Structure 1
Amino acid sequence: MTPERQVERLIIEALGHNPTDDQRQACQAIVEFLFSPDPCQAFLLRGYAGTGKTSLVSALVKVAPRINIRTQLLAPTGRAAKVFSSYASRKAGTIHKKIYVTVLDSAGVHRMVRASNRHSYTLFIVDEASMIGIDRPSQGTGRSLLEDLIDYVLEGSHCRLLMLGDSAQLPPVGMDVSPALDIEYLSSVSPLHMSQYEMTEVVRQQRQSGILANATAVRCGVTMSAFRPDMLQFKLSGFDDVVRLNGADLEETLHVLYDSTSPGDVVVVTRSNKRANLFNEAIRSRILFREGQLNAGDLLMVARNNYYWVDADSEMGFIANGDVAEVLSVRNHVELYGFHFVDASLRFVDYPAAPVIECKLLLETLMSESPALTAAESQRLYESVMEDYADIPSRAGQHRELRRNPYYNALQVKFSYALTCHKTQGGQWRHVIVDQGYLTDGMLDHAWLRWLYTALTRATQRLYLLNFDRRFFTSEKE
């Protein structure tokens, strides 16, 4: 038996069940990639929900030490890394934490630069690659996260990159496709020689899941070149994990869920920040009976990366957009620079070993209809804070003090009881309530189907379809 076939056998055995044809063929393709002598060879594993993509990668991670391959598991967000860790049974970290370090430049300003890759003979496995965008950050290397990731891996000695993701999920904001899952794009912007495999066959054990059955039906619409709205039909019969829910029953359902499980296990998925604000306000006041603008016990999601409140050498490295935190205490409400701030103690739920973070929060973003401060608001805050340092003669000195100002660096956060679909990507919740919201025939396109597919696949235990039009259930008995 050849070494390649021996490794294939080890991975299949580590699966713990009879593989699908898809899993077997994907395994063969991955092993060919691992044995390729090409130093620029990289692999792209695409797979839809329920196809056993994660199980196969988990088996690969288990076998890797036996074939003298080191592995590093990465994901775009802390929540995605936590999910990756749970199924791979290995610690996963964020891409940012792994490939960037924060340094102090000559002007006294903290800058994020790409770290040196000192690994050798290491396979970097990146989950939820559909979330990786190509925006150039305003602070950092001047290159996109995807470009820096590729450069980092190639810098190591005999290091390889394996990215996995679901091409039916939402692409990064403002994009039609996910660049990290686009083999032509990857080949055009890097020296990588890409090989790939796409998994489409649903694993037998998953076929009894109503969540997966309905997500698969939606995904089929995503992949159709010509989709008609009448093709979308939810299937409820024979499944107890998918529930049709109307607005009149929502409050009672939320009471039951919040009484029986942790608030962090329930999320409402909406199409806009405006809708999310309405749900967050109602949940806090009518379900959790919170009266203040912000209370101990509230759950928040970070709306913008922050490098001020956490030591760069700590487990977190920085506080990332999408990180979820529980408020332990709130104090010292201050109005300053035309904005409102509080001091807060936060526990970041996806980093259980991390210490409690003491920080300042900017309250304006809590109920804002924009994802974070708008450009105009950010500029207004910047100009107001800079007025404090007008007596400093040099511009560099002024900016040095600006970067040290705790109010300028206050965390921008939102309540996380209800979130937009983009904000939920990479995460999973036991109970997910998907809100149809305002919907016209003209909005029923492939972009909406991607949104819906991504929203449905956030649920692991029960899915609630809130206020969806009855035409999507015509195949069901009324």
Structure 2
Amino acid sequence: MKHPQLRGIDPDGANASSISELLQHQQDAARIEQIQAETLRDAADELCLQASKPVGFQATSEQQSAISGIAAFCRQSGVGTFASFNGPAGSGKSTTSRLIRESLINAGYTVGLCAPTHKACQVLADACKVNKSETATFASLLGLREKKTKDEVDFVPQPGSKPRLDENDIWLADEASMMHPKLLKYIEEAADFWTKIIFIGDQAQLSPVKFGRVSPALRCTPRFDLTKVMRHDGAVLDAATAIRQTTGSKWRIPFTKSIIGDSSSIFTYADKKEWQHAFLEMAAEHHEKDDPDAFRVIAWTNDEVNRLNAGIRRHVYGRKAAPFLVGERVVTHSGVKASDDHTELIYGSSRELLIRHATPVEFLHPACTDGKPFLSWELITQTDDGEPPRKIRAIDPTHEGRMQVFLKQLREQAFENMQRGSGQHAWDDFWDLNDSFAQLQPYWCLTCHKAQGSQFRNVFIQGRDLDRAAGGANERRRLWYTAATRAQRAVHVIADPEVKL
């Protein structure tokens, strides 16, 4: 939104009969212009603040400061592109974010919404009371896709896509604690002079993967903070706040008994067996109802995630079930390419898919030097976002080991070819085989990092796994806090008879 440039007007009847009078008239005109500009700014601030208040809503001083401060930042030019808005669970951050968006729209701006994952986009859309189609992931907004290697995370251009930051005057970027510094760099390069981006997040949550510190996105200035927890109506929020406020070598509170609250509860179980039985029964019940957000199990390591997912799947489908079944929900472990065109990215990582059709097929890849095809599955999958069904290919678990042998051979060959000066094309054969199969896993259990940004009614925390996380007390505190704040109704943990932290 462009604001009119006001020009100073000489007062009526002024007669510039001398140089001193002329200078005085010019000063008066400049002062009039300044007063007019200040009046418009004050009126705009008041309009933004009043428009952001629904009937009966009483904003706190912190919320009022954030709403008016962000409105003022967005109105000014030449003061930078980024601002940040921080707040812990229960501080009213989601409500304030919605009010900020509404006030900016009422002031004449176009405002976009973005978040790191599709699940986080859905949570943001719900908070702002809009359709998920009105949101975008960080990567898609920049025309990028995530590329993971063993040691680092990077982002590469997505063929056929380009940055879309210029589609709106302002972007509200939620769950910015997950934003990797590399992605922030791409945003800096893509944003034009007029675009404003407000990073929203919770500094107490987990840092970006492989980074280890609070995302620089949440340290951008001007910075607006909510510090006071406004809601004390549930056991989950009370526990999360207590975990966040632990200090020193203590990273969480003990869980010794169940606490049943009006809006949320903490359920404790005598031992691991009882805890596992609870989520196994919940998995069976809600599978029949096709209720995917009823619960999640959150752990720290991929090994524990795989172990728990295997146990849940066996309980739901039986020991002799095929590896992929019609009606089964799965999650992409990494980006999924089209089976017939590896330049086309069909799904990004952590996308939740419903299998519509599953057919076992043989697939002979040029890497199969023994002439024997891979046993694989041709799947027709669909998201819950209304996207059209897509065909993908997944390796049968019985041939996973064989595929890894060929990948190892191609990796070694690629290193040799690079030493001979083949450049990045030395890896073409490796990536061609790697991208031939989608990496999928059951959706019930996930790591704390992948759960970030999502919300589920029930969250089962594998506390023993979180308690042994690398990184010391600070990292474990962030893990526990992030896991607990994923729950909307209840947290389920194994009871601590006596905790020494």
Q: Is this a same-fold pair by TM over 0.5?
A: yes
* Paired residue type of 1:208: D
In structure 2, C-alpha distance between the alignment counterparts of 1:335 and 1:309, rounded to whole Å = 11
Query: Which of these residues, 332, 336, 352, is aligned with residue 360 of structure 2?
Result: 332
- After TM superposition, give the deviation of residue 51 of structure 1 in Å: 0.9
Contact 1:234 1:473 in 2 (8 A): no
Query: Which of these residues, 278, 285, 301, is aligned with residue 259 of structure 1?
Result: 285
Query: Which of these residues, 227, 240, 259, is aligned with residue 215 of structure 1?
Result: 240
In structure 1, C-alpha distance between the alignment counterparts of 2:362 and 2:86, rounded to whole Å = 49
Deviation per residue, 1:258-303 (Å, 9 max, x gap) = 4155244321111111111111111111234362222222221111
Q: Which runs of 5+ in 2 are unaligned?
A: 1-38, 146-155, 369-373, 415-421
Q: Quick check: 48-57 or 144-153, which moved more?
A: 144-153
- After TM superposition, give the deviation of residue 381 of structure 1 in Å: 5.8
Query: Which of these residues, 195, 200, 220, is aligned with residue 164 of structure 1?
Result: 200
Q: Alignment partner of 1:69: what SS? A: coil
- After TM superposition, give the deviation of residue 334 of structure 1 in Å: 3.3
Q: Output aligned runs, 1:314-329, within 5 Å.
A: 318-329=346-357
Contact 2:355 2:382 in 1 (8 A): yes
In structure 2, C-alpha distance between the alignment counterparts of 1:117 and 1:231, rounded to whole Å = 44
In structure 2, C-alpha distance between the alignment counterparts of 1:208 and 1:415, rounded to whole Å = 33
Q: Which runs of 5+ in 1 are unaligned?
A: 103-109, 135-143, 187-193, 386-393
Q: Quick check: 47-56 or 293-302, which moved more?
A: 293-302
Deviation per residue, 1:430-461 (Å, 9 max, x gap) = 11111112546998611111001111111112
1:451 has 2:479 as partner:
yes
Q: Alignment partner of 1:471: what SS? A: coil
In structure 1, C-alpha distance between the alignment counterparts of 2:241 and 2:398, rounded to whole Å = 35
Query: Which of these residues, 259, 262, 267, is aligned with residue 243 of structure 1?
Result: 267
Contact 1:172 1:178 in 2 (8 A): yes
Contact 1:242 1:464 in 2 (8 A): yes
* Paired residue type of 2:310: E
Contact 1:47 1:167 in 2 (8 A): yes
- After TM superposition, give the deviation of residue 362 of structure 1 in Å: 3.5
1:300 has 2:330 as partner:
yes
Contact 1:126 1:164 in 2 (8 A): yes
Partner of 1:428: 455
Q: Alignment partner of 1:445: what SS? A: helix
Q: CA RMSD in A?
A: 3.9
Partner of 1:77: 117
Deviation per residue, 1:160-217 (Å, 9 max, x gap) = 110101111111122221324452xx6xxxxxxx2102212112xx311211111111
Among the aligned pairs, what percent are the same residue?
Answer: 18
- After TM superposition, give the deviation of residue 128 of structure 1 in Å: 0.7
Q: Quick check: 248-257 or 90-99, which moved more?
A: 248-257
Residues matched between the structures, number: 424
Partner of 1:179: 215
Which fold has the larger relative contact order, with Cα–Cα distance below 8 Å and residues 6 or more apart in sequence? Answer: 1
Deviation per residue, 1:366-388 (Å, 9 max, x gap) = 999xxxx99x9755466899xxx
Contact 1:366 1:414 in 2 (8 A): no
In structure 2, C-alpha distance between the alignment counterparts of 1:7 and 1:320, rounded to whole Å = 40
Counterparts in 2 of 1:293 and 1:423: CA distance versus 1, 3 Å: same
In structure 2, C-alpha distance between the alignment counterparts of 1:419 and 1:328, rounded to whole Å = 23
Partner of 2:175: 128
In structure 2, C-alpha distance between the alignment counterparts of 1:417 and 1:230, rounded to whole Å = 24
Query: Normalised by the size of structure 1, how large is the TM-score?
Result: 0.77
Counterparts in 2 of 1:32 and 1:64: CA distance versus 1, 3 Å: closer
Contact 2:115 2:174 in 1 (8 A): yes
- After TM superposition, give the deviation of residue 145 of structure 1 in Å: 1.8
Q: Quick check: 263-272 or 76-85, which moved more?
A: 263-272
Counterparts in 2 of 1:285 and 1:364: CA distance versus 1, 3 Å: closer
Deviation per residue, 1:35-86 (Å, 9 max, x gap) = 3332524210111111111111111222333211001111111111111111
In structure 1, C-alpha distance between the alignment counterparts of 2:167 and 2:379, rounded to whole Å = 42
Partner of 1:152: 190
Q: Quick check: 77-86 or 1-10, which moved more?
A: 1-10
